[in-house]
Structure 1
């Protein structure tokens, strides 16, 4: 595996951008003690840490205690920036136009019969009756996607941030290719699940594009960013960052996009690299 010491890293990176599931988190969805210590050490060394995930805001509790100075996280594949220190206040929302979402639904129904949908909004979640079983919460609606997309307006503060599409028989990568061919001109299509579940955002919205916006606001260039990921929804971010690492458990497209590799998430692959970054920063400070 490639290590930080023999990778073309910036002299002192200013920001670490890391995916969560399959990357920072272990398979049991915990943050190891080693990773907690590494994140704290990075912040102490003056390196900001951004969590950049496909998760909705309401699933960020697992890492909310480990966002330090700024408190910000990028959720829903770049559709939402949230302040986890500020009561989960939404700082930025890059929604999916409802008309475009309806066009995507129709296009995928035609191209891949049997596709079922869920709709993630800023304040609620809904899914179709045949969508794979989902844990209900008080805000969950069960209805056809067309109804879910038309019920609330963005003026009501319930913007669509992600359309989810599931197919019961297609392979994950073939479904992704089909959807991008069919609807890629309408929206951004990616995936992070091991099943044929696609995540559809506004056109041009991705982890990479929102991370770039957040970095520009802080005067941080891509060359000063080190990124980590494991699935296709991380590919653009890993390509944008000056230095990037695919996890040992990463999808082949992620390995191809990253400039380096680390060990798997269950072996604390993110922490391994952060420890090397922090050690090198300390050595520079004492030189």
Structure 2
């Protein structure tokens, strides 16, 4: 396990990790990432945001050499000018999602469903009429059959008004085989569904192969259960202080919270010690 010196790759979650509660990234954080790149260390943004939010992700982390989007399903190489090179584009058939949602409803009763199928900038999320989605302007309400008539980048489910994502996540994983779909959550109160074997670790594995980097030489930062796979995969794992308890339990170290620029503070110290 990597313990000292600079890593060969830095990968970080965005929301709740480098992005602060007011949806901004500090100038200090930007300056530290610039220094990391100047030291020859590639930077990867690894986020649950779908590819429709690629532009926002590039604004929040303009120093990224590559992006892992959609929780691992879309991997983009940004190193060359012009359009990014797509290294991975995983989709879940709508028919598969329909069957697993039916299985969840048979066990749990009615669920709310939102799906992310489009990857054009700022395209809408389709789905049920919901009142508790944190970004209501993103949602276009439409019949479920219409939403499920497409291959899906990512889906979101919730049972009634229950905001216990941890319990729903355990139930979904016990009910639906891993070879059918992958489940996680990112603290929004919804459980997220991706194609099988799609998570941030598998997305970063595509990056590592492209760059010729061993996972043992990768440093990752995160805060929520959707970061757990990359914490289990990477050689050094650092949680921000506001992270989910399961993430903190897996971390080698904990830094300050996202609102106190914890990732940048940690990297700044690493750069200073490596001189």
TM-score range, shorter chain: 0.7 to 0.9
Whether the aligned pair in 1 keeps the contact of 2:2 and 2:217 (CA below 8 Å) is: no
Structure 2 equivalent of residue 161 of structure 1: 153
d(CA) in 2 for partners of 1:141 and 1:179? 25
Note the alpha carbon deviations across 1:235-259, whole angstroms, 9 max, x for none.
Answer: 0101111001111001111011222
Aligned to 2:103, which of 107, 126, 130?
Answer: 107
Pair 1:232 & 2:225 matched: yes
Deviation at 1:146, TM superposition (A): 3.2
Whether the aligned pair in 1 keeps the contact of 2:216 and 2:235 (CA below 8 Å) is: yes
Aligned to 1:274, which of 253, 267, 275?
Answer: 267
Deviation at 1:180, TM superposition (A): 1.1
Farther-moved stretch of structure 1 (74-83 vs 226-235): 74-83
Whether the aligned pair in 2 keeps the contact of 1:117 and 1:131 (CA below 8 Å) is: no
d(CA) in 2 for partners of 1:48 and 1:191? 27
d(CA) in 2 for partners of 1:89 and 1:198? 29
Structure 2 equivalent of residue 223 of structure 1: 216
d(CA) in 2 for partners of 1:143 and 1:90? 30
Deviation at 1:8, TM superposition (A): 5.0
**Structural mapping, 1:52-63, within 5 Å:** 52-63=46-57
Structure 1: gaps of 5 or more residues: 1-6, 153-158
Whether the aligned pair in 1 keeps the contact of 2:87 and 2:206 (CA below 8 Å) is: no
Structure 2 equivalent of residue 142 of structure 1: 141
Aligned length: 265
Q: Aligned in 2, Cα 1:105/1:131: closer, same or farther, shift over 3 Å?
A: farther
Deviation at 1:46, TM superposition (A): 0.5
Structure 1 equivalent of residue 62 of structure 2: 67
Normalised TM-score (structure 2): 0.88
Note the alpha carbon deviations across 1:96-155, whole angstroms, 9 max, x for none.
Answer: 133321221111111221311011013353111246455446xx64223333111x4xxx
> Post-superposition, which runs of at least 4 consecutive aligned residues in structure 1 deviate over 6 A?
none
Aligned to 1:92, which of 83, 88, 92?
Answer: 88
Structure 2: gaps of 5 or more residues: none
Q: Aligned in 2, Cα 1:69/1:21: closer, same or farther, shift over 3 Å?
A: closer
d(CA) in 1 for partners of 2:6 and 2:214? 12
d(CA) in 2 for partners of 1:127 and 1:83? 30
Deviation at 1:223, TM superposition (A): 1.1
Whether the aligned pair in 1 keeps the contact of 2:115 and 2:156 (CA below 8 Å) is: yes
Give the match's secondary structure for 1:106.
Answer: helix
Pair 1:43 & 2:32 matched: no
Structure 2 equivalent of residue 126 of structure 1: 126
Structure 2 equivalent of residue 17 of structure 1: 11
Farther-moved stretch of structure 1 (222-231 vs 109-118): 109-118
Give the match's secondary structure for 2:110.
Answer: coil
d(CA) in 2 for partners of 1:98 and 1:263? 40
d(CA) in 1 for partners of 2:70 and 2:263? 21
Structure 1 equivalent of residue 181 of structure 2: 187
Whether the aligned pair in 2 keeps the contact of 1:131 and 1:166 (CA below 8 Å) is: no
Structure 2 equivalent of residue 156 of structure 1: none
d(CA) in 1 for partners of 2:273 and 2:28? 18
Normalised TM-score (structure 1): 0.85
